[in-house]
Every structure is written in C-alpha cells, then in structure tokens.
C-alpha cells in the first residue's frame, strides 16, 4: 500500500482536491448532457479474462487511426502504446465529454469501452494553469492509480489510503469522487501515488489531475466517469501496453 496526503491532490493543494470537483464550483452547477454510460467491447490487451467494457463479447474491427484524433496529437502517442483512453470534450467551453477506451491489435485500433462523463467546468485549454477550471488538452501517460477503496484488480501501481477521502464540507454529492482514481501524468512525477504533491513544472501550472468517479457535474480540471467506467479502466489498463490518455475538446483533438 502506498499512501500520501490527499491535501496535495487533484489540483490546488487542500483546495487542490477541488480541482476534481469540490464545493468551490459545485454551487454553480452546469447542465450535463448525454446518458449515464454506454459500454463498449470486452477483450482488451492486458485485460483480465472475462473483464468487460460493455455488452459485446469481443471488440469490433476498427480503423488504423483512432477516430477524431488529428496529426498533432496522434503523433504524440508513443509508438509502443497499445491502449489509449480518448476523452472527447463536447466543446471548448463545455464540461461534458465522452470517454472511449481503444485497444490496438496489430495495426488496428478497436473500441473497448465508452462512457459519458465530465471535464473541467469551463471546458478545455492548451495552456492550463491552476484554478482556471479547464482541463489540459494533450497526450499524457497513465502510470499510477489509487483511492479510498481497495485495489479492484489493476496492473497499475495502486495506493489505497483514507487520505483520499474528500473533506466533509464538500457535501454528499462528492463523497465517492475519489473512491478510485487514475493519475493523469500532467505536471507530476510518474511512479508516485496520485496524491503526491510534486509538480516539476511549478505550482502555477496546476496538477493533481485525475480520472475519477463522476458526480454529475464538471470538475476543476479532472476527467470523471461512471463507476462502471473507472473500474473497467483500472482492470484493463496495463503498464506493459504503455497506456495513455488523449484528451481535449473535439475541435482541438482534430487539429
């Protein structure tokens, strides 16, 4: 078990947890669209036998390029990566997004899970700074996971700790936010627990950006998705497959 202070996680020091949701913006709730979640297909490189992303029993054939990802970002995906989580933001200023897991078989990318979720309350930015309430556009590795609850069966290094509990002042809507989290390697040191406070590019560049349980609203910078989605990702992502997340609003992703 690895533990650390959640006070330095999810965006802005103790308030930093608020980068993923907190009451700082919760009183100004934004409308969210789309159904709760939709599953994709099942068998994924690195997945446990029988793990499922949706109703299908095997992934359907896909393209040799991940849909909706243009040359700028596609060229940043490591050549050895065979698992990509694509976060398609509805719009530059929208808190709503669709999260899709893709797995690569040979030269073909196949969809292996799909869910509706949320991103930063004010949308997206290519120049993320602390407290801008926007999620950073880019390609980031996925190296570490953790949460309040026990490891659900992930191959990623996992730190379980009560330190991930959100402050009671955040309210019941956020109580489950960090039951499970996956660290997005933006301004952090890979190989450390998600709540490690170190920010190599400095405090003002923000940090503590996670994928975590959805609370039905936008975050301050993180990506949130239903429990079905986060547990599927945890059980499927495999360090041997060099997993990454490609995230941004749809227009930015296509550039």
pLDDT digits (tens, 9 = 90+) for 168-186: 999 999 999 999 999 999 9
Q: Is the pLDDT of residue 190 over 60?
A: yes
- pTM for this model (two decimals): 0.81
pLDDT category at 27 given cuts 50, 70, 90 is very low
In tens, the pLDDT along 58-79 reads 445 568 999 999 999 999 999 9
For residues 115 and 99, is the Cβ–Cβ distance under 8 A? yes
b/e code 27-41 from CB counts within 10 Å (16+ = b): eeeeebeeeebbbbb
């Amino acid at each position: 078990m690895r533990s650390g202070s959640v006070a330095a996680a999810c965006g802005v020091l103790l308030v930093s947890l608020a980068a993923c949701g907190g009451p700082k913006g919760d009183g100004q709730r934004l409308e969210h669209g789309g159904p709760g979640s939709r599953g994709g297909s099942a068998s994924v490189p690195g997945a446990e036998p029988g793990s499922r992303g949706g109703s299908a029993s095997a992934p359907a054939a896909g393209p040799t390029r991940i849909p909706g990802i243009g040359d700028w970002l596609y060229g940043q995906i490591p050549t050895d990566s065979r698992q990509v989580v694509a976060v398609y933001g509805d719009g530059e200023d929208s808190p709503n997004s669709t999260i899709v897991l893709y797995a690569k078989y040979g030269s073909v990318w196949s969809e292996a899970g799909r869910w509706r979720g949320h991103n930063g309350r004010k949308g997206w930015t290519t120049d993320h700074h602390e407290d801008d309430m926007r999620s950073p556009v880019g390609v980031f590795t996925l190296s570490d996971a953790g949460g309040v609850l026990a490891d659900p069966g992930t191959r990623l290094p996992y730190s379980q700790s009560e330190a991930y509990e959100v402050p009671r002042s955040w309210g019941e809507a956020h109580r489950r936010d960090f039951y499970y989290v996956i660290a997005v390697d933006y301004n952090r040191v890979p190989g450390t627990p998600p709540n490690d406070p170190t920010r190599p590019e400095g405090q003002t560049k923000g940090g503590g950006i996670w994928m975590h349980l959805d609370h039905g609203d936008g975050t301050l910078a993180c990506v949130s998705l239903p429990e079905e989605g986060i547990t599927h990702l945890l059980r499927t992502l495999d360090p041997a497959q060099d997993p990454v997340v490609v995230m941004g609003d749809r227009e930015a992703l296509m550039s």
